[in-house]
Structure 1
Amino acid sequence: MWFKHLHLYRLHGAPRLDAADLEAAMAERAARAPGGNEARRLGWCPPAGRAGVALLHELEGHRLLTALRQERLLPASVVREEVEERSADIEAREGRKLRRQEKQGLKEQVLEELLPRAFVRRQRLDLWWDTRRDLIGINASSRQRAEDVLDLLRDTLGSLKVTPLATRTLPPRAMTQWLTEPQERPADLQLGDQVELKAKGDDGVLRARQVDLDSDEIQQLLASGRQASKLAMEIEGRLSFVLHDDLALKSLRFGDALIDEANQTEDDGDALVRLEADFLLMTQALSEHIEQLINWLGGEAEATAAPSTTDPGNQDPQ
């Protein structure tokens, strides 16, 4: 249940659906297998997997939803080789070169024939909705995957106005300051051993792991004008992560004390009880430390763009 990554969004004028109404709306967008010629499909599935059938879990204002992304794996090289082979057969038989439009038609035919037989890769993407703070966090490795889930939620609700969470102080500026001016670091913040430094010009990106971030070498690179675009950090020994320049939290790790507290919860072997206990402890810790991080970054910035993150016309088929 413990999230590995987190992309954060601020809700604007959030719809006030109760849990029952939201789950009923989600059921209309429930996950199902892709049709014969569908390359991918996204729909809601039970967060508990085979251990439960509920599409929504809500505890103390924290909602857990899970999207299932199903994508047929059909390598472009396989399609290309099949098209080339069929093109060669036709050209040899008819004694002429195929036109570009004819080859495109062959490609479409190959896709139509091979796609239904392709393997399906499944990926679960968890969404945390903090209804008290109007905050959404999505456990996804990339921003695009997170916004795919927002598209599904928007389609489920009929409308959804969100913007990526933003702070008054941009993360690169704060991270660079924390590295160059140790006295400016918040008292509860400890640096990790991973950093990514970007140059202003065309000198590329420097990535360092398992290094002392206060070393002379790192300080010299910063003095040359590089800025931190990723920085490993830890808050009070309870939560560690890599902060990205877009405010994404990657490689989340929760402290031993929190994990021990979760393990002490009596669940009598009930997977649903375990899921909800872990989720509540995790989200309570995340809520507290996200607020801490926002304060360290000068507070939350006011949304200046239209509160929408994705183009509905580019949604995956539902």
Structure 2
Amino acid sequence: MWFKNLRIYRFTKPFDFDSEKLTELLAEKAFHPCGRQDVSKYGWVPPLSGAAGDPDFDFVHVCNGNIMLCAQKEEKVIPSSVIKEAVQEKAEFIEQKEGRKIFRKERDKLKDDVMLELLPRAFTKSHRVYGYIDVKENLLLIDAASANKAEQFMSHLRDTLGTLPVIPPASKQVPTDVMTNWLSEQSAHPPFELEKECELSNPSDSANVIRCKAQDLDADEVKTILESGKHCSKLAVNWNDSLHCVIESDLSIKRLKFEDKLIDQANEADAEDRAQQFDQDFAVMSLELAQFCKDLFAAFGGLDEGRVV
């Protein structure tokens, strides 16, 4: 359950759904496995369930006022090479039988037919996306490495609730400028400390990127690259000796790793069951992330309430 990535969104209006109403709405948009002809399915599952639709758990898990949600996506897996080969076989059969050439429009129709034939026999793969609402801080935090996964989570939540007034955090200072200055000065905004990884990019050419890993960032070659005009678009940091992560230019967080002392703190009290252990993990993690978000926003000059990314 410990988040590995973090996409942060802030509510423009207070979140005012109670857990009972929220559970009712999520149940209406619950996850159901793919049918014979479904390419993919997306829906809500209980954060604590071992299997989708487990009746022993709720669709929301509330701890210290924070509301954890979990979405599951299942999709059919049909390798493109298999589809291509089947379409080619059908096209060649028709060309030989009818003595004519198969053109693009008809080939696309053959592809659709092949998909319909293969879907019932296709394997499925699934993944879950966790997110929670920090009601006190008016934040939605999603454990998603990509923007697309976070957007799909929010889209389904918006469809479920009928509304979801959230926007990405817009800082008063430009994140790339701030991180570039941290590198130049070799000093981050406390309680952040620089680690040994960054990405330097050309502001006028996004494809022009230099990645540094396991590199002393005060080395002369890094300084030379910065002097050439490149900006820091990703930067690895240590926050408060509690977690390690990579900050990206949109203030999303990648490769989030909590220190063992926090994991041990969550395990101090022997949990009687999975639900209690989940509570303990969630309580410790959400407490740390609430302060982390405050420090993150402060490090970039605070949030600009009038600006939307």
Q: Give the TM-score, by structure 2 length.
A: 0.94
Q: Which residue of 2 aligns with 1:194?
A: 197
- Supply the distance in 2 between the matched residues of 1:29 and 1:118 (Cα, whole angstroms): 25
Tell me if structure 2 keeps the 8 A contact 1:73–1:118. Answer: yes
Q: Which residue of 1 aligns with 2:233?
A: 229
- 1:25 partnered with 2:25: yes
| Range 119-128 or range 203-212, more displaced | 203-212
Q: Which residue of 2 aligns with 1:254?
A: 258
- Supply the distance in 2 between the matched residues of 1:235 and 1:105 (Cα, whole angstroms): 54
Q: Which residue of 1 aligns with 2:124?
A: 120
Partner amino acid, structure 2, of 1:30: A
Q: Structure 1: which 4+ aligned runs deviate by more than 4 Å?
A: none
Partner amino acid, structure 1, of 2:200: L
Q: Which residue of 2 aligns with 1:137?
A: 141
- Supply the distance in 1 between the matched residues of 2:157 and 2:204 (Cα, whole angstroms): 40
Tell me if structure 2 keeps the 8 A contact 1:14–1:160. Answer: no
Partner amino acid, structure 2, of 1:71: E
Tell me if structure 1 keeps the 8 A contact 2:267–2:280. Answer: no
Over 3 Å counting, the alpha-carbon distance change for 1:118 and 1:70 in structure 2 is same
- Supply the distance in 1 between the matched residues of 2:145 and 2:76 (Cα, whole angstroms): 19
Residues paired across the two proteins, number: 304
Tell me if structure 1 keeps the 8 A contact 2:45–2:59. Answer: yes
Shift of 1:164: 1.0
Over 3 Å counting, the alpha-carbon distance change for 1:303 and 1:163 in structure 2 is farther
Q: Which residue of 2 aligns with 1:47?
A: 47
Q: Following superposition of structure 1 onto structure 2, how do residues 62-73 of structure 1 map, counting pairs within 5 Å? A: 62-73=66-77
Q: Which residue of 2 aligns with 1:171?
A: 175
Q: Which residue of 1 aligns with 2:278?
A: 275
- Supply the distance in 2 between the matched residues of 1:205 and 1:147 (Cα, whole angstroms): 26
Shift of 1:15: 4.1
Q: Following superposition of structure 1 onto structure 2, how do residues 7-18 of structure 1 map, counting pairs within 5 Å? A: 7-18=7-18
Q: Which residue of 2 aligns with 1:35?
A: 35
- Supply the distance in 2 between the matched residues of 1:98 and 1:199 (Cα, whole angstroms): 47
Q: Which residue of 2 aligns with 1:295?
A: 298
Provide the secondary structure at the position in 1 that maps to 2:50. helix
- 1:242 partnered with 2:234: no
Tell me if structure 1 keeps the 8 A contact 2:186–2:194. Answer: no
Shift of 1:228: 0.6
Q: Which residue of 2 aligns with 1:316?
A: none
- Supply the distance in 2 between the matched residues of 1:100 and 1:198 (Cα, whole angstroms): 41
Partner amino acid, structure 2, of 1:19: S
Q: Deviations over 1:244-265 (max 9, x none)?
A: 1111111011122211111212
Tell me if structure 2 keeps the 8 A contact 1:9–1:135. Answer: yes
- Supply the distance in 1 between the matched residues of 2:32 and 2:251 (Cα, whole angstroms): 33
Q: Give the TM-score, by structure 1 length.
A: 0.92
| Range 146-155 or range 97-106, more displaced | 97-106
Q: Which residue of 2 aligns with 1:314?
A: none
- Supply the distance in 2 between the matched residues of 1:37 and 1:304 (Cα, whole angstroms): 44
Q: Structure 2: any 5+ residue segments left out of the alignment?
A: none
How much is the aligned-residue C-alpha RMSD, in angstroms?
1.6
- 1:82 partnered with 2:91: no
Over 3 Å counting, the alpha-carbon distance change for 1:295 and 1:98 in structure 2 is same
Q: Which residue of 1 aligns with 2:212?
A: 208
Shift of 1:198: 0.2
Tell me if structure 2 keeps the 8 A contact 1:44–1:68. Answer: yes
Over 3 Å counting, the alpha-carbon distance change for 1:79 and 1:14 in structure 2 is farther
Tell me if structure 2 keeps the 8 A contact 1:163–1:303. Answer: no
Q: Deviations over 1:190-247 (max 9, x none)?
A: 1111111002344711111111111111111111111111000011101110001111
Partner amino acid, structure 1, of 2:126: R
Provide the secondary structure at the position in 2 that maps to 1:49. coil
- Supply the distance in 1 between the matched residues of 2:109 and 2:298 (Cα, whole angstroms): 57
Partner amino acid, structure 1, of 2:202: A
Q: Which residue of 2 aligns with 1:100?
A: 104
- Supply the distance in 2 between the matched residues of 1:104 and 1:256 (Cα, whole angstroms): 53
Partner amino acid, structure 2, of 1:128: Y
Tell me if structure 2 keeps the 8 A contact 1:128–1:137. Answer: yes
Q: Deviations over 1:23-74 (max 9, x none)?
A: 1110011111122222111100111132852111111111100000111111
Over 3 Å counting, the alpha-carbon distance change for 1:250 and 1:92 in structure 2 is same
- Supply the distance in 2 between the matched residues of 1:234 and 1:175 (Cα, whole angstroms): 14
Tell me if structure 2 keeps the 8 A contact 1:39–1:71. Answer: yes
| Range 149-158 or range 194-203, more displaced | 194-203
Q: Deviations over 1:120-161 (max 9, x none)?
A: 111110011101111001001101100100011001101112
Q: Deviations over 1:85-104 (max 9, x none)?
A: 11001111111112332222
Q: Which residue of 1 aligns with 2:184?
A: 180
